[in-house]
Structure 1
Amino acid sequence: MNAPQTGPEDHTAAEDQDAGSPACVMSFNANDASGASGIGADIATIAAMGAHALPVVTSLLIRDSAEVFESHEIDAEAVIDQARSVLEDITIASWKVGFLGSAEGISAVAEILSDYTDTPLVSYLPNLSWMDEDAQMAYLDAFRELILPASQVLVGNHKTLTDFLLPEWDAERSPSARELAVAAAEHGCAYVLVTGVQLPDQFIDNVLASPQGAVAGERFERFEASFVGAGDTLSAALAAILSTGTALDVAVSEALSFLDQALDSGFRPGMGGVVPDRFFWALPPGEQPAEGEGAPAEGDITDLNEQLPPPHTRNVH
């Protein structure tokens, strides 16, 4: 594992960590009591990838498995205190940024990130259509100004990123992943991971792109189902894999493979969407699905790339 860069207030040197201990990934995200998205999704995903999650709660989402109703902000100083108390004690290897609650929450998180500029940051932008229009505009403006410049990778659905990065796009065709990457680069973000790019013949594309073009990605068969928490799962998996020093293109392929299998094994806990099963590989003995049901056999948890792909892929939402 490569030694992560530390900030001025982090007095725990990487060499002081126990050999073989899991990499530590700090996630800033909202608490979602449904467990579908937010900090709960990040904790489960990071743990499933073999890393240790350091969760910082930025807001409280009031939602069920179908929709978000509202969000209650957490005081910005409390967000800072949560993070600083951990960062003064533990060396982190990567960051994950999810929903930060408000423009003030974004400013608080950006203040922390500015002290650790060499630690890779994966930022996820969810669909915020449920927010009040003024609050949404303030949030997106702050995210664009303060989080994008610090991000190595911005993750989001094709439509969400188009509305965010290219709001005045009026061409008949949709922008490519490269065009979105060009727009993100204007704000200092090196790469975008665009999900849900519509293709002919019932397929979608998921593309990691830089301003120079596509770098990596996976093509999935379109499946008509509504998933909750897929974006948080993908971005948290990517942050966890990057924490080990894995090259970005390889990390993206592994994260997409993980998400594909988690969605293939997804379940519906309520009356809303399907939730990814982030521990699809951990079924107890005797409870493996029958042949053709899409989950890997017991013991195939060390190298996702060595597993056979599931027979039915799922859409990344």
Structure 2
Amino acid sequence: MTARILIVAGSDSSGGAGIQADTKTVTALGGYAATAITALTAQNTLGVSGVVGVEPAFIQQQMRAVIDDIGIDVIKTGMLHNAEVIDAVSDIIDELDPSIPIVVDPVMVSQSGSSLLDPNSVQTLTRRLSLRATVMTPNIPEAEKLTGMTIRDIDGMLQAAAMLHTIGPKAVLLKGGHMQGGSSVTDILASEEGIETFESPRIETPHVHGTGCTLASAIATSLAQGMSVRASVLRARAYLYEAIRTNPGLGGGQGPLNHGHTVGSFDAP
């Protein structure tokens, strides 16, 4: 059976992040991506210039249309820009079989620094979605908003990951790409099995637009294919590393990744 991933997130007009990055990632890793779009954004590698939200009831309608017909193996959430949207999405998730994995990427700020979540909605995100999450994938700035901590080093990451794990998610992958300095990137996985540290060489490039969306969707795809959380994280990190390393160098700012690096070239007959 094809692994079916329902992605509930915003659209990125530049194609580097959001629904577009999610769909590319799921496809590149052998899954089937369906979508419920929560917002439209006008953006490119230089930043976000506009956001138009989708009505919460229509987001639910999109989700139900997919669930009732195609079915789902995993839900992955991305940009949920206010409390009403978070509640609407959570209400649908609460109707599902509790065994269906939920991957929550708590998108709050774009790679260029634009706010993508109403600050007053952080508590709703914590109260509703975190309790249902199989894996939550915050970066350091997002973890700081969720915990109220200031994270300056690996010890701070370890404390924040452990704290986030206690508020509900079965596992938390705290991403360390925003940590300044050093020749490596460290991610922390806190789960029921304990806390584990993953490290990879830092690639010096500005082209990291959509890394969070990509990693979370790669994890979701692997979970849908029956892999464990740890194995899904390892596979997702390897996929993301190669996508960054082979980025196409597009745009004048923080450019997109090479999501298609797993796909061979096609020669027309």
Per the TM superposition, whether the score is higher than 0.5 is: yes
Contact 1:181 1:210 in 2 (8 A): no
State the alpha-carbon separation in 2 of the partners of residues 244 and 109 from structure 1: 23
Q: Which residue identity lines up with residue 215 of structure 2 in the other structure? A: L
**Are 1:141 and 2:126 matched, yes or no?**
no
Q: Any stretches of 5+ residues in structure 2 without a counterpart?
A: none
Tell me how many residue pairs correspond in the alignment: 262
State the alpha-carbon separation in 2 of the partners of residues 172 and 65 from structure 1: 27
Q: CA RMSD, aligned part only?
A: 2.3
**Are 1:22 and 2:2 matched, yes or no?**
yes
More helix by share: 2
Q: 1:206 aligns with which of 175, 182, 187?
A: 187
Q: CA deviation at 1:109?
A: 0.4
Q: CA deviation at 1:91?
A: 2.4
Q: CA deviation at 1:183?
A: 1.9
Contact 2:10 2:19 in 1 (8 A): yes
Q: Which has the higher contact order (CA 8 A, sep 6+)?
A: 2
Contact 1:96 1:239 in 2 (8 A): yes
Contact 1:166 1:183 in 2 (8 A): yes
Q: CA deviation at 1:226?
A: 4.2
> SS in structure 2 opposite 1:114?
helix
Moved more, 204-213 or 41-50: 204-213
Larger radius of gyration between Structure 1 and Structure 2: 1
State the alpha-carbon separation in 2 of the partners of residues 253 and 70 from structure 1: 35
Q: CA deviation at 1:218?
A: 3.3
Q: CA deviation at 1:111?
A: 0.4
State the alpha-carbon separation in 2 of the partners of residues 42 and 119 from structure 1: 19
Q: CA deviation at 1:54?
A: 0.9
**Are 1:85 and 2:65 matched, yes or no?**
yes
Q: Which residue identity lines up with residue 61 of structure 2 in the other structure? A: D
State the alpha-carbon separation in 2 of the partners of residues 275 and 26 from structure 1: 22
| TM-score, length-scaled by structure 1 | 0.76
- Percent of residue pairs identical: 23
Q: 2:226 aligns with which of 245, 268, 284?
A: 245
> SS in structure 2 opposite 1:72?
strand
Deviations, residues 124-153 of structure 1 (Å, cap 9, x unaligned): 123425238xx6222222211111111111
Alignment partner, residue 264 of structure 1:
245
Contact 1:23 1:93 in 2 (8 A): yes
Deviations, residues 35-83 of structure 1 (Å, cap 9, x unaligned): 0111111111111110100111001112112212232110011000011
Alignment partner, residue 274 of structure 1:
255
Q: 1:228 aligns with which of 195, 209, 231?
A: 209
State the alpha-carbon separation in 1 of the partners of residues 65 and 226 from structure 2: 25
Q: CA deviation at 1:210?
A: 2.9
| TM-score, length-scaled by structure 2 | 0.88
Alpha-carbon distance change, 89 to 215 in structure 1, aligned in 2, over 3 angstroms: same
Alpha-carbon distance change, 70 to 228 in structure 1, aligned in 2, over 3 angstroms: same
**Are 1:284 and 2:265 matched, yes or no?**
yes
Q: Any stretches of 5+ residues in structure 1 without a counterpart?
A: 1-20, 287-317
Q: 1:109 aligns with which of 86, 89, 94?
A: 89
